[in-house]
């Protein structure tokens, strides 16, 4: 799968601009940042934090568009059984991930 830690609204990744007008007036953009503290969320130190549907980043903030919340967001177009499988920790085949644009 491709990189899942990106803003669901504008597509910004860490230290990168997303689509549309940036909230920052200067040319630099922090993009999407994980603001989970390792003390409060020990799982935030794991390599797949925010990159898998079983280890969500629950405190992500986008400094490009102002969005904040959980990442990654499940893609649109999933069948009901696919949602359940992702929640249970299964990974989807590469060809299905490409179909969904992941």
pTM over 0.75: no
- The residues spanned by each domain of the chain are 1-102
Indicate whether 10 pLDDT > 70: yes
Q: Which residues of 22-52 are buried (b: 16+ CB within 10 A; e: fewer)?
A: beeeeeebbbbbbebeeeebeebeeeebbbb
Q: Read off the pLDDT band of 1 (50, 70, 90).
A: very low
Q: DSSP secondary-structure letter at 100?
A: T
**DSSP secondary structure string for all residues of 36-93:** --TTT-GGGGSTTTTTBTTB-EEEEEETTT--EEEESPPPTT--HHHHHHHHTT----
Tens of pLDDT, residue by residue over 17-56, are 999 999 987 778 999 999 988 787 777 777 778 887 878 8
CB 71 within 8 Å of CB 57: yes
């Amino acid at each position: 799968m491709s990189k899942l830690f990106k803003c669901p609204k504008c597509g910004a990744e860490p230290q990168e601009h997303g689509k549309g007008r940036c909230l920052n007036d200067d040319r630099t953009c922090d993009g999407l940042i994980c603001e989970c503290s390792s003390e409060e969320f020990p799982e935030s130190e794991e390599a797949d934090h925010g990159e898998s549907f079983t280890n969500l980043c629950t405190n992500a903030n986008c400094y490009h568009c102002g969005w904040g919340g959980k990442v990654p967001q499940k893609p649109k177009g999933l069948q009901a059984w696919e949602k359940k499988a992702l929640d249970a920790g299964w990974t989807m085949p590469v060809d299905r991930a490409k179909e969904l644009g992941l």
